[in-house]
Amino acid sequence: MTGVLAAARDRARDVLDPAFYDYVAGGAGRERVVADNERAFDRLALLPRVLRGSAVRDTTVDLPGAPGAAPVLVAPTAFHRLAHPDGELATARAAARTGVVLVTGMAATTAVAEVAAAARAADPAAAVWFQLYLQPEPEVTECLVRRAERAGCTALVVTVDSPVFGRRERDLRNGFTDLPAGYAAENMRDLPGGPPGRTRDIAMSPALSWDDLARLREATALPVLLKGVLHPADARLAVERGADGVVVSNHGGRQCDAVPAAVDALPAVVAAVDGRVPVLLDGGVRRGTDVAVSLALGATAVGVGRPVVWGLAAGGEAGVRQVLEELLDEYDHALALCGARGNADLAPDLVVRRGGAR
Ligand SMILES: Cc1cc2nc3c(=O)[nH]c(=O)nc-3n(C[C@H](O)[C@H](O)[C@H](O)COP(=O)(O)O)c2cc1C
Ligand SMILES: CC(C)CC(=O)C(=O)O
C-alpha cells in the first residue's frame, strides 16, 4: 500500500500500543484472507470508455436510511478510544463532514447515543447505522435495538459471519484478550441479565438461525442489512427473509482464513440478489479505483475498516477525514478516467482480469 492511507497506517504503527496495532492489522490463521482482500483488487483492471464523460460527476448513492450518501462507508470497527482519546466521537464527526455513513456498533467504546449526537452536531443530515451481533437472549438484542433507535440510527447491520470468534494468532501471542482498564464496550452496559452499571460480554453463538433474524425483523421498523454474506444462496435467503441489504464481507479476513476475497465473492451475490436490495462490500478497499471496480461489479457502496482506524490513530478527526476524502477524491477521479458521468455508468464490462479477459 502507498499514498495517504499507507502513511496513516505507518503513523498508526508508530503511535499505537503494538498489541492494539496487531489486533487491528491482523486476522485469522496465517492471514491469507487479509492479504487476498487487497490482492484481489490488484488482479482486476478497469477498462475505460472514452468520449462520454462529464465535467461534473454524480457519486452519491441511495442507501437504506441514508439517501444521497457517499459511496464509501465507515465499516464497524471496535474500540476507537484505543486508537485515539476522542475515539468514536472523532470518527463520527469526520464521517458526517464527508457525507459518509458511519456504522457504529456494539463494540464501540462510546455509547451509540453520544456517537449519533456527535455526527448530527457536525451535520444535521448525517446518517449513523448500528451494527450488532444477535445475542442468544432476545431481550438483550432488543434492548440494544431500542438504544440504537432512540439514538436516531437509521439502519441496523447484523453481522452474521461470526458464529464463533476467529482464531487470531497475533492476539493469542500478544495476550490481547481484554480491553485495558478504563475502556469498555459502552453499548453493552446495563443490559438485561447483566451486572447493574457494568458491561456484559459480547456473545457469539453458533446456534443462531434465520428465526432469530425473523424475530429482529419483527422487533424493529428500521432497515436491516446482513453483514458477512459470501454464499449466493444465503444472499437469496436474506432477501426472501426481508433483509433490506446485504454486505459481502469476510470480516476483513478476521474470521475464517480459507474464504474468498470479498471482491471475488461479489459477482455471484449480486447475481443472486438481482437488484432487489442494495449489495454492499467491504474488505481490502484501499483506493478509489477499488471503489470503482466494486461499483462496476454491482456493489451499491463499499465499507472501509482498517484505514479509518489508521487515520484516527494518526490524526483524530482530521486523520479520518483525510482518509475518507482521499478515497472519495480518488473515486471521482477514477470515474472521470473511465468516461463515467456517475456511478450509474459503471457496469461489469468495465472490469477485466489483469492480463486477460474476465
Ligand atoms: C479492528 C477491527 C475491528 C472490527 N470490529 C468489528 C465489529 O465490531 N463488528 C463487525 O461487524 N465487524 C468488525 N470488523 C470488520 C469490519 O467491519 C470490516 O468487515 C473489515 O474491517 C473490512 O476490511 P478492511 O479492514 O480491509 O477494510 C472489524 C475490523 C477491524 C479491523
Ligand atoms: C469485539 C469484536 C467482536 C470485534 C470484531 O468483530 C473484530 O475484532 O473483528
Q: What is the pLDDT of residue 2?
A: 84
Q: What percent of the chain has pLDDT over 70?
A: 99
Q: Return d(Cα 123, Cα 110) in angstroms, integer.
A: 19
State the distance from the centre of ligand 2 to the C-alpha of 307, rounded, in angstroms: 16
Q: Is 333 assigned a catalytic role? A: no
Give the ligand with the smallest distance to the CA of 185.
2
Q: Return d(Cα 209, Cα 293) in angstroms, integer.
A: 33
Q: Is residue 312 part of a domain?
A: yes
The secondary structure of residue 254, as a DSSP letter, is T
The secondary structure of residue 29, as a DSSP letter, is T
Cβ of 179 below 6 Å from ligand 2: no
Question: How buried is 175 (Cβ within 10 angstroms: 0-12 exposed, 13-18 middle, 19+ buried)?
Answer: exposed
The secondary structure of residue 101, as a DSSP letter, is P
Q: Is residue 320 part of a domain?
A: yes
Total count of domains within the chain = 1
Q: Is residue 155 part of a domain?
A: yes
Q: Is residue 63 part of a domain?
A: yes
Dig out the grid coordinates for 256 from the structure.
475464517
Q: What is the DSSP string of 138-206?
A: HHHHHHHHHHHHHHT---EEEE-S-SS---BHHHHHHT--SPPTT---GGGBT-TTSPTTSBPPPP--T
State the distance from the centre of ligand 1 to the C-alpha of 305, rounded, in angstroms: 5
Task: Give nearest CA residue, ligand 2 atom 4.
Answer: 78
Dig out the grid coordinates for 54 from the structure.
462529464
CB 115 within 8 A of CB 103: no
Q: Is residue 141 part of a domain?
A: yes
CB 22 within 8 A of CB 174: yes
| Nearest in space to 75 (alpha carbons), one of 315, 284, 314 | 284
Domain containing residue 203: CATH number: 3.20.20.70
Per-residue pLDDT reduced to its tens digit, 260-317: 999 999 999 999 999 999 999 999 999 999 999 999 999 999 999 999 999 999 999 9
Phi-psi region of 202 (alpha: psi -120 to 50; beta: other; left: phi over 0): beta
What DSSP element (H or E) covers 225? strand 224-229
Give the ligand with the smallest distance to the CA of 108.
1
- Which residues, 6 or more positions from 59, have their beta carbon under 8 angstroms from its beta carbon? 70, 71, 328, 331, 332, 335, 342, 343
Q: Is residue 45 part of a domain?
A: yes
- Which residues, 6 or more positions from 67, have their beta carbon under 8 angstroms from its beta carbon? none
Cα-flanking dihedrals φ and ψ of residue 102, to 5°?
-100, 125
Rg of the Cα atoms in the chain: 19
Q: Return d(Cα 149, Cα 154) in angstroms, integer.
A: 7
Q: Return d(Cα 19, Cα 78) in angstroms, integer.
A: 14
| Nearest in space to 344 (alpha carbons), one of 300, 314, 290 | 300
Q: Is residue 154 part of a domain?
A: yes
What DSSP element (H or E) covers 130? strand 128-132
- Tell me which residues of the chain have a pLDDT lower than 70: 357-358
Domain that holds residue 16: 3-353
Q: What is the pLDDT of residue 358?
A: 55
Q: Is residue 301 part of a domain?
A: yes
Beta strands 44-46 and 279-282 are unpaired
Dig out the grid coordinates for 55 from the structure.
465535467
Q: Which of 77, 144, 201 to mutate to test the pocket of ligand 2 (most atoms within 8 A of CB)?
A: 77
State ipTM. Answer: 0.99
Q: Which of 38, 254, 304 to mutate to test the pocket of ligand 1 (most atoms within 8 A of CB)?
A: 254
Dig out the grid coordinates for 212 from the structure.
432469530
Q: Which residues pair with 105 in a beta bridge?
A: 131
| Nearest in space to 335 (alpha carbons), one of 102, 52, 142 | 52
Which alpha helices (H) appear in the chain, and where do they start and end?
A: 3-15, 18-25, 32-42, 87-97, 112-122, 138-151, 169-174, 210-219, 232-240, 262-273, 288-296, 306-337
Q: Return d(Cα 203, Cα 28) in angstroms, integer.
A: 19
Q: What is the pLDDT of residue 115?
A: 99
